[in-house]
Amino acid sequence: MGNNNYFEAIEGRRSIYAINNEAVVSEERIQEVINHAVKHTPSAFNSQSARVVVLFGDQHKKLWTITTDTLKAIVPAEHFSSTLDKMNAFGAGYGTVLFFEDQAVVEGLQEQFALYADNFPIWSSHSTGMLQHVIWTSLHVEGLGASLQHYNPLIDDSVKTEWNLPASWKLIAQMPFGNIVAPAGEKQFSPLEDRVKFIK
C-alpha cells in the first residue's frame, strides 16, 4: 500500500502472543496514545460509552493471576497446563488494556431514543470493536505487540471488585501488550474477490 503510514499500520498490527515486560515504550507514552484513541474513536450518537482501564506492572500481573485462579476452578486438571502457559505468557507482558462499555450510557440512550432501543447495545458493541482496533494499531505503531482476549464474563466480578470499578461498566475484552519477543505466525487470506464487490 505504498508508504502511507496509516495503511502500513493497519497491515502491521497482528496478534502477538510472545511478549515481555521490557519497558521499550514509557508508561506516559502508552497513556498518551490510549487517551488519544479513546478521545477520537467514534461512537453511536457520540455517546462515548467506552471505558478503559490500563493495568501496568504488578496490577497487570494481578489480572492474570485472577484469571488463572478463576480458570483453575473450572478447567479440567488435565487441560490446565496449557491454560497456565497462556496465562503466564500474558502475565509476562508490560500491561493490559481492559475494555468496558458503560451500560448506564447505553440504557440512557435506550430511554431517550425508544425507537432505536434495540440498536444501542449493538452499536455499543460496534464502537468498542472500533476502539479495540485503534488501540491495538496504536500500540503496534509504538512498537508494542498485543493480542485480544475474552475471559469475560468469568472474571467480571473479580475485576470490578479488585479495581473498585462502577457496576455499570461491562467488561468486553482484555488486551495484554508488551515488548515483542517473537513475531506473529503466518496468516491466511481468503480471496478478496469472494469478499468484496465493487459495483460501477
Binding residues for ligand FMN, per CB under 6 A? 14-15, 147-150, 184, 187
CB of 119 closer than 8 Å to CB of 45: no
Task: Evaluate the CA torsion angle 12, 96, 18, 29 in order and state its sign.
Answer: positive
Nearer to ligand FMN, 43 or 147 (CB): 147
- Least distance to ligand FMN from the beta carbon of 149, Å? 5
- Rounded to 5°, angle at Cα 189 from 185 and 192: 160
> Which H or E run contains 76?
none
CB of 175 closer than 8 Å to CB of 151: no
* 6 CB-contact burial (10 Å; exposed 0-12 / middle 13-18 / buried 19+): exposed
CA-based nearest residue to 172, from 77, 44, 53: 53
Name the phi and psi angles at 103, rounded to 5: -70, -20
> Which H or E run contains 102?
strand 95-102
- Least distance to ligand FMN from the beta carbon of 82, Å? 13
- Least distance to ligand FMN from the beta carbon of 108, Å? 25
- Least distance to ligand FMN from the beta carbon of 140, Å? 10
- Least distance to ligand FMN from the beta carbon of 134, Å? 13
Name the phi and psi angles at 77, rounded to 5: -50, -35
- Answer left, alpha or beta for residue 57, where phi above 0 means left and psi between -120 and 50 means alpha: left
